[in-house]
Amino acid sequence: MPRWKGKGSQAKANADPMSKIVSQLQSSLIQSETRGLLSSCSVLVEVDAELADLLNRSCFGRPRITAQEDKQWFQLDLEEAFYLCFSLKCLKVIGEDGYIKSNEELWDYLKSKKPVFPVSYKVYSHLRHKNWVVRSGLQYGVDFVAYRHHPALVHSEYAVLVLSEGDNDLNGRLRVWSDVHCTVRLCGSVAKTLLTVIVNGNNQGANSPSCLEHYTVEEQTITRWNPERSREDQTGPKNGTKK
Amino acid sequence: MKPRWKGKGSEAKASADPMSKIVSQLHSSLIRSVARGLLLSRNVLIEADAELSYLFNRTRFGRSRITSQEEKQWFQLDMEEAFYLCFSLECLKGIGKDGSIKSNKELWEYSKSEKPAFPISYKAYSHLRHKNWVVRSGLQYGVDFIAYRHLPALIHSEYAVLALSKGDNELNGRLRVWSDVHCTVRLCGSVAKTLLVLFVDSNSQGTSSPSCLEHYTVEEETITRWNPEQSREDQTSLRNQTNLGTI
């Protein structure tokens, strides 16, 4: 159940669906022919006031404080940048050599920075396609946190861990019971449900981003089972009717 | 972290009755009663009279189990606890399903078959118990063990312990990625415990027999948050020429 922050938040969210905001962002980026700069593990974009507002409202990137007063800079995570470039086709990225990177080149670069990128990206885009806001979950000890709308309006419901079916070297989490307990307990303490998203590469490999389309995704939540709350109603059988 | 004693007088009580002495009493009692433990899957079950029950509780070895028997109490020991009593303290013998007494080597092989990481886990457990710490399962806190300076009734647990194998990474299921480090440190912080990682190095001794353990080494490392605000030098100290650094 979504936990909306304050009265009127749910109404605001319904009046202004995330899909619409993202669409506006997409148009604005295309119109302005925005270019991102590759910088190690992020992409930096210079934006005007309109784009800054759209990036904030759609929750892509984080604003960075600079000495420039008239322009705003945003820093995008790898998954965010690739989503704008490859899925939404509204951003192009320039490498350190000054040339625009093709999606293939960008894919190879991102894989070199983060070997698990293909699987991580599949999960990010899977959730974003469903219009969830997806942000880094590192401070909560997970990969992503997913919000039904803008974090100012709603608390995040899901703490997401990315897992890879079969190919176990890529999996760093939930290999042992103590990690399952640790994660479920931490998620509980911050009122989020643990959502594991298991990606199956279906032997497609990861040579090019077009492989992604053949990956399949399985969602599983992991929660505590409380015997007390899961008992059948004791009075049920006597009346002959199920409560 | 300073020990957080529960209530006044706890620290004095603990000093008057050191864990080493209580464990020694347990040791004597087990030897006198020629205690035998029954191997059952991942546990060892022991029948205990009133005196032994009291000592198990005081030293925090095992958990008491409710049964229909009124006069006898049954305790369930984890593999590490049982092996510690059998091999390190030499005051207990384990009996297999076939009714025969298991030698330490047989018990070692059995424990390894139930839990491949047992050599690492046991080295960590015994390392702490030898220092007279109370060591319990840490599963509900998402770690391997919880270590107390004395009885849990007297003191809040201080360390949440993860036992990791140095070098041999296949055995390590934790702290392989940053999200796990954040998860664990944050959870430990929320239950007021410090994360203690024990890196066990087998020094290429292998695991063929419990005598290998003697050549394993253990490196202790705590992992805590670094707070820049709390780690600044005192601004006025520069003026006073004295270092009052606050931690």
- A99 lies in some domain: yes
Residue of A nearest to B225 (CA): A139
- Give the burial class of B52: count Cβ atoms within 10 A of its Cβ; 0-12 exposed, 13-18 middle, 19 or more buried: buried
Rg (CA), chain A: 21
**Identity of residue B93:** K
Q: Which CATH architecture has domain B16-115?
A: 3-Layer(aba) Sandwich (3.40)
Please tell me which of the candidates B177, B178, B187 has its beta carbon nearest to residue A182.
B187
Alpha carbon distance A162, A172 (integer Å): 9
Both tokens of residue B240?
């006073």
Measure in Å the smallest separation between the Cα of A141 and chain B Cα atoms: 4
pLDDT tens track for A149-207: 999 999 888 999 999 987 567 789 999 999 999 999 999 999 999 999 999 988 888 99
Map out the domains of chain B as residue ranges: 16-115, 116-227
**Residue A37 near chain B (CB below 8 Å):** no
Both tokens of residue B84?
């510690």
Rg (CA), chain B: 21
Task: Determine the structural domain holding residue A91 and report its residue range.
Answer: 9-225
* DSSP-based three-state secondary structure for A193: strand
- A14 lies in some domain: yes
Residue A159: which CATH number? 3.40.1350.10
* DSSP-based three-state secondary structure for A117: helix
Residues of A catalogued as catalytic: 147, 155, 192
CB atoms closer than 10 angstroms to residue B83: 27
Among residues 146-165 of chain A, which lie with CB inside 8 Å of chain B? Answer: 161
State the pLDDT at residue A168: 66
- Give the burial class of A158: count Cβ atoms within 10 A of its Cβ; 0-12 exposed, 13-18 middle, 19 or more buried: buried
Q: Are the C-beta atoms of B58 and B24 separated by less than 8 Å?
A: no
Between residues B11 and B127, the one the model is more confident about:
B127
* Cβ within 8 Å, pair B138-A178: yes
CATH number of B116-227: 3.40.1350.10
Please tell me which of the candidates B143, B180, B190 has its beta carbon nearest to residue A189.
B190
Does the pLDDT value for residue B71 go beyond 60? yes
- A22 lies in some domain: yes
> Residue B173 CA to chain centroid, in angstroms?
18
Alpha carbon distance A187, A161 (integer Å): 11
State the pLDDT at residue B169: 67
Between residues B245 and B188, the one the model is more confident about:
B188
Which residues neighbour B40 within 8 Å (Cβ) at sequence distance 6 or greater?
Answer: none
pLDDT tens track for A23-43: 999 999 999 999 999 998 899
Measure in Å the smallest separation between the Cα of A236 and chain B Cα atoms: 30
Within 8 A of B190 by CB-CB distance, chain A residues are: 186, 189
* Cβ within 8 Å, pair B183-A189: no
pLDDT tens track for B127-165: 999 999 999 999 999 999 999 887 666 777 689 999 999
Nearest to A22 by CA among A74, A76, A75, A58: A58
Provide the ipTM: 0.88
Please tell me which of the candidates B162, B180, B182 has its beta carbon nearest to residue A139.
B182
Residues written for chain B: 247
**Residue B187 near chain A (CB below 8 Å):** yes
Provide the number of structural domains found in chain A.
1
Please report, in angstroms and rounded to a whole number, the separation of the first and last CA atoms in chain A: 23
